[in-house]
Each structure stands twice: as structure tokens, then as C-alpha cells.
Amino acid sequence: MKVSEVVSALERLAPPALAAEWDNVGLLVGDGSCEVRKLLLCIDLTEAVLAEAAKVKAAMVMAYHPVIFKPIARVTAEAAPVVYEAARCGLAVYSMHTAWDAAAGGADDVLADAMGLADRRALVPATGRGECKIVVFVPPADLAGVSEAAFEAGAGRIGGYNRCAFFSHGIGSFCGGASTHPTVGRAGRDEAVEELRLEMIAPLTSAPAVCDAIRSAHSYEMPAIDVYPLAGLPAGCGLGRVGRLARPATLEALVVRVKRAVGVRRALLARPSGHVRQGRIGLAACGVGAGRGVYRQAIAAGAGLFVTGEMPHHDALTAAAAGVAVLCLGHSNTERIALSRLAEQLALIAPKLKVVRSAQDRDPYDIV
């Protein structure tokens, strides 16, 4: 397989439109045309995981956390050692991060499965960044210039593919008013000219820039441009999950169950405040990684327990005061359990790709 084909498979499971606006998901290092036989899965691309990738001969890594999160000014061995080394040895690096959290069957659903949540829904339903189709009518001589300008402005990207477009032939008619200066024909007269219908996909946020680029490259005084919003995201997507427990249980029993399912021996537990009585819990919620983005929705939903990776001190106090117990299992521990599910799903849609989980990837914290 090529890197671009692996990217398409990953984006089929976790569309980038699901990612948070602040996130940086997608192919962050590498060449889409390179061949891939083995993909290594990890949470964090560390120097140890880099060495492992070389040892197992993996040409590509899916590092859940973006190896490039904020803009970097230079790629040197000193300033960005992991990025530099990945690029130097030709290793492609992709990040799914919050797109995989929010996807149906993704990281949040895997944690919800570990808790035994049924009839569940997202705490923060996904709205996505949104995409649109941009259509413009051009004379044949303008096709190359207009499409190139639109591509440069952000149009034409579908999964791992770039510069995607479609065009068809037709006849365009118009009659310019007295103040116009038509590129073809004369004002005040009916005209009919050969035109091409050019259409491309673009993020809604890029639509203004794409339309401006089209106008700048177009030879017409007033080019006809249509922008069509596309359908929304699949149902069941979004951050966090809340659901019903098949059998209500005490907090102590749930803590034991969840720790065993996630594979941790110790965890942080914030119990509800003393004045709040809590019996058996029937409704619970979760959010992988850092739970502060969805814990208020868990409170509003009436959950008796909120399971996450980590939470700030005062957020835990707020939840406990509202009668919600908070169980923190370690940031990446809540995410790492989803890598096995990802490997299973990739085996179904990309059977030619060998997928292996990193043996060197681990949470940076030990409880001592």
C-alpha cells in the first residue's frame, strides 16, 4: 500500500472533520506516494518508539498525539529531534487524536465499552468543521489557472488525495448591462459561449479564500461561483460518552471493574462531597485523555461517575460537589486501550497492511 492509501483508511475510521478546531490531525510527516507494508500504532512518538519502528521495519507510524502540535520554526536535530529523525529516515507519521476520540467506535466508545455503558450518546455531539462543494463556470482556456488557484487556497483535498476536481462541458449564456465589460462579446447583446463546469470539495472555513482565489484567476468580470454545504457527520460521533449501566453498582465495585478493564492497578478517585449521598450508580460517563472539556456535560446528564485520564484539581472539586465521582486512570492509559480496536478495524478495511502495536509506548507517569 501507499502512504496515501493508509491515510484514506485511517480517515475512513476517523474523519478529520471530527477533530477539535485546535487540534492538528492528519499526515504530519512523510510522502503520500511512498510504499507501506507495516504500520506501527502508539500514543506518543518518542525516541524509543522511533527506534522500535526502525527495528520492526515499519514505514509509517500512527501516533495518536500529534508529533507536531504547535507551529515549529525549524526542523533540526536540536529543535525538533523526533520530527527531524522521522523525516530523515523517511518515516511517515499520522495523527488521529481527537478525530479518533469522537468517531463512532473510537477511543471514547472503547472506554465506554470497558465501563459497560449501554444506550449511550456523546456528551458533546460532533458538528464538525464542515465541508462544501464549490462550483465555478470557466472558459476552457481558464481551467488550468483557476483550478490551480483553488487548489492553492485549500480546495480539492479528499482524504489522502489532493488536487481533486471534476469538470464537464456546456454552454453558458448571458447579457451584460450597459456598465459591464464582458470578456467575450459585447454589453447589451445576448451571448452564448462554451464553458466548463469545475467543481471541488473544500472546508467551509476555506470557502472565502477559495472563492477569492478563483475570482483573481478567472478572466470573467463577474464569474459565476456556487457554494453548496455538504451533509453533516455520521450519527453517534462526538466527544465523551454517557450511558446506562446494565446493572447499577456501587462506586467501589465500578472502580474495581474499570481498573481491571483498562489494565491499571492504581488510580485517582475523587468521591462526592460528604453531604451528597450516593447509592448504586446507574448512569455513568467518560471522556478519554483530559476530561475537563466534557465533565460539565457529565454533571448535567446526571452521571454518578465520570471516568477520564486526568482532571485539574478544581474541576474535580466541582464535580464532587455536584455528586459526581471522578476516576482518573492516567491520561494515555484511557487512550491506549483503543489501539487494539483500531488495529482490528484496520485489518478489516486494509487487509494487506500489517498493523502492530508499539511495545515501547507507555504512559510517562509511574505511581510510586
Give the CA angle between residues 282, 284, 286 to the nearest 5°: 165
Residues 346 and 287 in one domain: no
pLDDT tier at 275 (50, 70, 90 boundaries)?
low
Q: What is the pLDDT of residues 277-318, one digit of tens each?
A: 568 899 999 999 998 889 999 999 999 999 999 999 999 999
The SS3 of residue 102 is: helix
Kindly state whether residue 302 falls inside one of the protein's structural domains. Answer: yes
Q: What is the pLDDT of residues 51-92, one digit of tens each?
A: 999 999 999 999 999 999 988 899 999 999 999 999 999 999
Domain boundary among 166, 195, 229: 229
Residue 182 or residue 138, greater confidence:
138
Q: What is the pLDDT of residue 233?
A: 66
Return the C-alpha torsion angle 81, 87, 90, 95, nearest 10.
90
pLDDT, average across residues 269-281: 77
Burial of 341 from C-beta contacts in 10 A (0-12 / 13-18 / 19+): middle
Residues 35 and 162 in one domain: no
The CATH code of the domain that includes 148 is: 3.30.70.120
Q: What is the pLDDT of residue 137?
A: 93
Domain boundary among 184, 204, 229: 229
Q: Which strand (E) or helix (H) includes residue 53?
A: helix 47-56
pLDDT tier at 274 (50, 70, 90 boundaries)?
low
Residues 115 and 248 in one domain: yes
The SS3 of residue 291 is: helix
Kindly state whether residue 177 falls inside one of the protein's structural domains. Answer: yes
The CATH code of the domain that includes 9 is: 3.40.1390.30
Predicted confidence (pLDDT) at residue 14 exceeds the cutoff of 70: yes
CA distance 188 to 180: 9
Kindly state whether residue 366 falls inside one of the protein's structural domains. Answer: no
Q: How many domains does the chain have?
A: 3
Q: What is the pLDDT of residues 153-182, one digit of tens each?
A: 999 987 667 899 999 988 878 787 877 777
Residues 111 and 80 in one domain: no
pLDDT, average across residues 135-161: 90
Q: What is the pTM of this model?
A: 0.74
Residues 66 and 19 in one domain: yes
Q: Average pLDDT over the chain, rounded to whole?
A: 91
Give the CA angle between residues 308, 309, 311 to the nearest 5°: 80
254: its cell numbers: 465500578
Kindly state whether residue 166 falls inside one of the protein's structural domains. Answer: yes
CA distance 210 to 217: 11
Kindly state whether residue 368 falls inside one of the protein's structural domains. Answer: no
Residues 258 and 316 in one domain: yes
CA distance 95 to 235: 23
Q: Is 256 left (phi over 0), alpha (psi -120 to 50) or beta?
A: alpha
Kindly state whether residue 364 falls inside one of the protein's structural domains. Answer: no
Burial of 282 from C-beta contacts in 10 A (0-12 / 13-18 / 19+): middle
pLDDT tier at 129 (50, 70, 90 boundaries)?
low
Q: What is the pLDDT of residue 179?
A: 78
210: its cell numbers: 477559495
Residues 70 and 84 in one domain: yes
Residues 208 and 295 in one domain: no
Predicted confidence (pLDDT) at residue 190 exceeds the cutoff of 90: no
Q: What is the pLDDT of residue 231?
A: 61
> DSSP string of 120-189?
EEEEEE---S-EEEEEEEE-GGGHHHHHHHHHHTT---BTTB-S--EEEEEEEEEE--TT---SSS-TTS
Kindly state whether residue 156 falls inside one of the protein's structural domains. Answer: yes
Residues 312 and 168 in one domain: no
Residues 207 and 257 in one domain: no
Q: What is the pLDDT of residues 203-225, one digit of tens each?
A: 888 899 999 999 999 998 889 89
Q: What is the pLDDT of residues 324-340, one digit of tens each?
A: 999 999 999 999 999 99
Domain boundary among 203, 229, 255: 229
Residues 260 and 286 in one domain: yes
Ramachandran angles phi, psi of 322, nearest 5°: -90, 5
Kindly state whether residue 365 falls inside one of the protein's structural domains. Answer: no
Domain that holds residue 191: 131-229
14: its cell numbers: 476517523
Q: What is the pLDDT of residue 205?
A: 80
Q: Which residues pair with 158 in a beta bridge?
A: 161
Residues 292 and 313 in one domain: yes
> Is the CB of residue 27 less than 8 Å from the CB of residue 2?
no
